[in-house]
A = this chain, B = another copy of it.
Amino acid sequence: MQGIGQSGLLIVAALTAPAGLAEEWLALPDIPPVPADNPQTNAKIELGKQLFFDPRFSSTGTVSCNSCHNLMAGGEDSRTTSMGVHGLAGPRNAPTVWNSAFHSVQFWDGRAGSLEEQAKGPVIAQVEMGMRSLDEAIARVRQIPGYVEQFRNVFGGENAVTVDNAAKAVAAFERTLVTPGSAYDRFAKGDESALNAQQQRGLKRFNELGCTGCHRPPAFSGPWLAGGFFVTFPFHDSPHVTQYKLRDDSGREAVTKDPADRHKYRVPTLRNVALGAPYFHNGAVPTLSEAVQVMAASQLGIKLNEADTADIVAFLGALTGPFPAMSLPRLPATPGVSIVPAN
């Protein structure tokens, strides 16, 4: 499907790059990549959903995946950095879980190579869910008959309730958390009316400035690379660096211990970025408008004027939603007793 937008950009939904565009303006697929060893099934997705929303696998019984990755909102928590058990806050802003399945690596520093691996991290982070070990967490799952039954049905065998299987179920659920069908996607599929004139100008500037060099359609994240796609942030000096403490975090270097990885981060998706304030790895930048200017200064070495900034912000708004209708899960019970330890 092809069409000429009002802006004169050639819009295609095919895999070929249109003339005059550095990137392929693809619509988001309905289904993200699925690993061969964790195929999607309805029962597994339903189990993963319950685990995602269940706060009982945090030390205090108060923090679930959804606490910091709120699916009723932009898939994150509107906070500078997330707050876990006992009111503790870590150093990083919660990335959105929406469309995380289109990232080849997880976490800001890409330290997890899959959603399955990622799912295990927050459970034992002492400033997040605060469990002493994954064994302690899975021991709680084993105390809940409704989970034991579902794990057996989904994974088979008497010892189906394992950390790896729990992670697989959560990851399978997360692979359903995708938002194709945004205004941008409809535009990319040929509906010129899906983006207004300002959004189309924003798309064009986004492309001309080179934003697509890292934020590539269709997910507007980095390209899918097995080892991850990392970029130094901030690259150029600017007053923002000091103002927002952008170099206080060593980024991927903390994972690899390689100085070449200092201040390197995975390129995050811009899908639903309008719902993701505040911005960047440390959540220090309060507005999307300011975030766009910070990116122009720090990555492109330019000062973006207000009109261009507004146009790009308008375009980024076209990457919001739509969000799939979802039922509230029922969490399986332990009648007559709580598995959350007493205060």
Contact = CB atoms under 8 A, between A and B. Distances in A.
Contact of A286 (B83, B325, B338): B338
B335 A288 contact: yes
Contacts of A288: 335-337
A313 B288 CA distance: 55
Nearest to A322: B330
B327 A327 contact: yes
Contacts of A331: 70, 72-73
A110 interface: no
A54 to B, nearest CB: 8
Interface string A323-337: 101111111011111
B72 A328 contact: yes
A89 interface: yes
- Interface majority SS (helix, strand, loop, mixed), chain A: loop
A277 B337 contact: yes
B87 A70 contact: no
Nearest to A284: B342
A274 B333 contact: yes
Nearest to A68: B62
Given A78-B338, A326-B328, A88 B87 contact: yes
Given A87-B86, A331-B73, A336 B61 contact: no
Given A60-B87, A87-B87, A88-B87, A79 B340 contact: yes
A320 interface: yes
Contacts of A99: none
A48 interface: no
Interface in A66-85: 67, 70-74, 77-81, 83, 85
A2 interface: no
Contacts of A88: 87
Nearest to A54: B72
B60 A343 contact: no
B53 A77 contact: no
A278 interface: yes
A334 to B, nearest CB: 8
A79 B62 CA distance: 9
A217 interface: no
A79 B343 contact: yes
A300 B89 CA distance: 48
Contact of A87 (B72, B85, B320): B85
A343 B89 contact: yes
Nearest to A327: B327
Given A71-B328, A79-B340, A327-B325, A335 B62 contact: no
24 contacts: A55-B77, A60-B79, A61-B79, A61-B83, A62-B79, A72-B328, A72-B330, A79-B338, A79-B343, A80-B343, A87-B88, A274-B333, A274-B335, A275-B333, A275-B335, A277-B338, A278-B338, A278-B342, A289-B336, A313-B336, A317-B336, A323-B330, A325-B328, A327-B328
